Amino acid sequence: MIKVGIVGGTGYTGVELLRILAVHPEAEVVCITSRSEAGMPVADMYPNLRGHVDLAFSEPDAGVLAGCDLVFFATPHGVAMRMVPELMAAGVRVVDLSADFRLKDLDTWADWYGMAHESAEWAEKAVYGLPEVARAAIRDAQLVANPGCYPTAVQLGFLPLLEQGLVNPARLIADAKSGASGAGRQGKIGMLHGEIGESFKAYGASGHRHLPEIRQGLSAAAGKGVGVTFVPHLVPMIRGIEATLYAELVDVADFDRLQSLYEARYENEPFVDVMPFGCHPETRSVRGANHCRMALHRQENSNIVIVSSVIDNLVKGAAGQAVQNMNIMFGLDERLGLSAPALLP
């Protein structure tokens, strides 16, 4: 059994880790920390866990965490970068669900997150944990930076095109939409049901923190810097991300082989489902599940490839991918604890 610690467990990512790990046959959560809620039984905050999780939130304790095999960070940015070096020194492995170790360029990180980075060493050593790109490196990593939710949906959708150099990398557009759980669980007026329960809007259209992460990942896939426009939107639902991606095919003749290219690229990926050409993936088809489903489209006489890609932002976009990474790191079947179908309807 892998002894697991969770730092920062009161948010939606934390409860989702607990939900998934509650049925994982090879992992056992031994502590879950929260400074603000120390002492409160987890199941008092999250009644779905009554009867499943007996833990209470505890103050972070360096000794307890150092005794874990793996620690998940489900904290706001700025926390993991301060605590991780000590855990690294203690030989503990870490999957950080926050943004602290996702960007390799720390000036960019500082610009977007509004603070200086405090662990250049581990920012460099951290492996960006998108298994479909970096499975081997994840296996050996001590520190995995779990990708953001939008970046997961966007990268998986664009990857085959960029890896093969089929599209103009300077003109990528990602129009993405997310349910409200992506904003976390803080008491913000702007996220009240009364404010957003029956409305739709773009946000962060002039620049969102996931933009540099997307750009970094797509540039790596393309082998050169890409130009990408990314606009997120808020959907009046709780879980789910859909990203509609637009790219210009260099040679329109390539349209004929795109479907088979995508299917081949993801053939051995347990959590990527390339649907038939022309399908419309629905976010509900992955609700609660670790899958990314995607499909390709073309409009008449157009050289634009359209990809629609869906994930559950809390699962493949956060806690599920984190557990997938844990499975890889510990040599387990990658699907362990992640095999239940999505909840539909």
Q: Are 30 and 7 in contact (CB under 8 A)?
A: no
Nearer of residues 38 and 62 to its own copies, judged by Cβ: 38
Q: Is 208 helix (H, G, I), strand (E, B) or coil?
A: coil
Asked whether the bond before 169 is cis by omega within 30 degrees of 0, the reply is: no
Phi, psi dihedral angles at 147 (to 5 degrees): -65, 155
158, amino acid identity: F
Strand-pair partners of 243:
176, 309
- Taking CB under 8 A as the criterion, which residues in 311-340 touch its own copies? 314, 339-340
Residues 56 and 61: their CA atoms lie apart, in Å, by 14
The binder of its own copies chosen from 2, 29, 42, 46 (CB under 8 A): 46
Nearer of residues 198 and 256 to its own copies, judged by Cβ: 198
Q: Check binding of 104 to its own copies (CB under 8 A).
A: no
Phi, psi dihedral angles at 68 (to 5 degrees): -85, 155
Please count the residues of this chain forming the interface with its own copies, following the rule CB under 8 A. 91
Q: Are 40 and 56 in contact (CB under 8 A)?
A: yes
Residues 14 and 151: their CA atoms lie apart, in Å, by 20
Q: Check binding of 49 to its own copies (CB under 8 A).
A: yes
Residues 11 and 18: their CA atoms lie apart, in Å, by 11
The overall longest dimension of the chain from CA atoms, in Å, is 63
Nearer of residues 77 and 177 to its own copies, judged by Cβ: 177
| Given the residues 31, 68, 149, 292, the one annotated as active site | 149
Please, what is the minimum distance in Å from the beta carbon of residue 116 to its own copies? Answer: 20
Q: Are 109 and 273 in contact (CB under 8 A)?
A: no
Please, what is the minimum distance in Å from the beta carbon of residue 190 to its own copies? Answer: 8
Q: Is 314 helix (H, G, I), strand (E, B) or coil?
A: coil
Q: Check binding of 79 to its own copies (CB under 8 A).
A: no
- Taking CB under 8 A as the criterion, which residues in 221-240 touch its own copies? 227, 229-231, 233, 235-240
Binding map of its own copies across residues 263-302, x = CB under 8 A, - = no contact: ----------x-x--x-xxxxxxxxxx-x-x---xxxx-x
The binder of its own copies chosen from 47, 63, 91, 331 (CB under 8 A): 47
Please, what is the minimum distance in Å from the beta carbon of residue 24 to its own copies? Answer: 11
The binder of its own copies chosen from 199, 251, 267, 268 (CB under 8 A): 199
Burial 165-191 (b: 16+ CB within 10 A, else e): ebbebeebebbbbbbbbbbeeeeeeeb
Please, what is the minimum distance in Å from the beta carbon of residue 319 to its own copies? Answer: 12
Q: Check binding of 246 to its own copies (CB under 8 A).
A: yes
DSSP structure string for 247-275: EEBSSGGGHHHHHHHHHHHTTT-TTEEEP
Nearer of residues 165 and 225 to its own copies, judged by Cβ: 225
- Taking CB under 8 A as the criterion, which residues in 159-198 touch its own copies? 171, 173, 175, 177, 179-181, 183, 185-189, 191-198
Burial 7-25 (b: 16+ CB within 10 A, else e): bbbbbbbbbbbbbbbeebe
- Residue 68: active-site member: no
Please, what is the minimum distance in Å from the beta carbon of residue 290 to its own copies? Answer: 11
Q: Check binding of 211 to its own copies (CB under 8 A).
A: yes
Please, what is the minimum distance in Å from the beta carbon of residue 34 to its own copies? Answer: 14
Q: Are 321 and 156 in contact (CB under 8 A)?
A: no
Nearer of residues 151 and 288 to its own copies, judged by Cβ: 288
Query: Where in the sequence numbering do the catalytic residues fall?
Result: 149
